[in-house]
Amino acid sequence: MRTSRAVSWEGFFNTRDLGGLPTRSGGTTGRGAFFRAADLRFVTEAGWAQAREAGVATVVDLRNADEIRPARTPLTAQAGSAQFTAAAEGPVTPAGVDRLEVPLDDIEDVEFWQHVNGEKLNGTPLYYPVFLRRKAERCAAVIKAMACARPGGVLFHCGAGRDRTGLIALVLLALADVEPAAIAADYALSAEALKPLFAAMGTAGQDSAIFAVLADRGTTVEEAVMAVLDGFDVERYLLEAGVTGGELRGVRARLLGGDLR
């Protein structure tokens, strides 16, 4: 797996191209079609210009409403020699970039999240199987939104760009028939890629707690992701959840066709 998939546009964190990954048929996913990322609150004008230059035409925000528009004061963060200031409220997306809000979590289902948290699944790939089983319509809504995106790159993100974003990345890459080991390795990249974001925000990372939970279950990050993919018929799953055949073909074409600029 080439580390050049990571992008370093100004103010973007934990951001990488889903292109260049090996498929089981011997090909690779196309570059410039889908990008995964963390919270975009620190993105500068220069960073947006770099994203647009790379072909990004649509942003899909997977966060909940209270995350997107929280009551907060502007936050300034430092990352190396660069300083970034987040907007006081609400996202800022430049002209020429469409924005779609498709919350994935379904936070209204309190019982579900009490179960996930009670079992210490949240924050790890261990919650993916139960979420996929119970929230198929939420995953389908994201894929349908992506299928309707205009030509150009689609960038999708949540807060850290690891859990919700990682789940959608898994679904997308499974749809492209990417090698399971490559999907697991892509998820694992977030551990290192998130360190600059946490440092910029002055918060501690969660890696030690996540690894401890996985160790207690006798598994690793990569093994947990591989377990999700074992026997996962993504096409059937999405069709039964309401994605049409045409939408599936469109998203798969983006994934395998690559640069749509």
Query: What is the per-residue pLDDT across 210-258, written as a single tens digit (0 to 9) for each?
Result: 999 999 999 999 999 999 999 999 999 999 999 999 999 999 999 998 6
Instruction: Give yes or no for residue 80 having a pLDDT over 60.
Output: no
Q: DSSP readout, 200-261?
A: HHT----HHHHHHHHHHTT--HHHHHHHHHTT--HHHHHHHTT--HHHHHHHHHHHHH----
CATH of domain 8-250: 3.90.190.10
How is residue 224 written in tokens?
A: 């947990």
Backbone angles phi, psi at 16, to 5 degrees: -150, 155
DSSP 27-77: -BPPTTSEEEES--TT--HHHHHHHHHTTEEEEEE-S-HHHHS-S----EE
Instruction: Describe the chain by its helix, strand, coil percentages, rounded to 5.
Output: 45, 15, 40
pLDDT at 75 over 50: no
178-218 tens-digit pLDDT: 999 999 999 999 999 999 999 888 887 778 889 999 999 99
Q: Encode pLDDT of 139-164 as tens digits.
A: 999 999 999 999 999 999 999 999 99
Which pTM does this prediction carry? 0.90
Residue 205 has what pLDDT?
Answer: 73
Q: How confident is the model over 107-132, as a mean pLDDT? A: 96
Cβ–Cβ under 8 Å, residues 136 and 34: no
Q: Which of 37, 43, 51, 57 is nearest to 157 (CA)?
A: 37
List pLDDT tens digits, range 27-66.
Answer: 999 999 999 999 999 999 999 999 999 999 999 999 999 9
3-state SS class at 124: coil
| Burial (0-12, 13-18, 19+ Cβ within 10 Å), 118 | exposed
The tokens for 134 are 């119970």
Q: How far apart are CA 172 and CA 166, in angstroms?
A: 10
Query: Per-domain residue ranges for the chain?
Result: 8-250
Q: How many C-beta atoms surround the C-beta of residue 178 within 10 A?
A: 25
Pair 256, 27: CB distance under 8 Å: yes
Please give the pLDDT value at position 163. Answer: 96
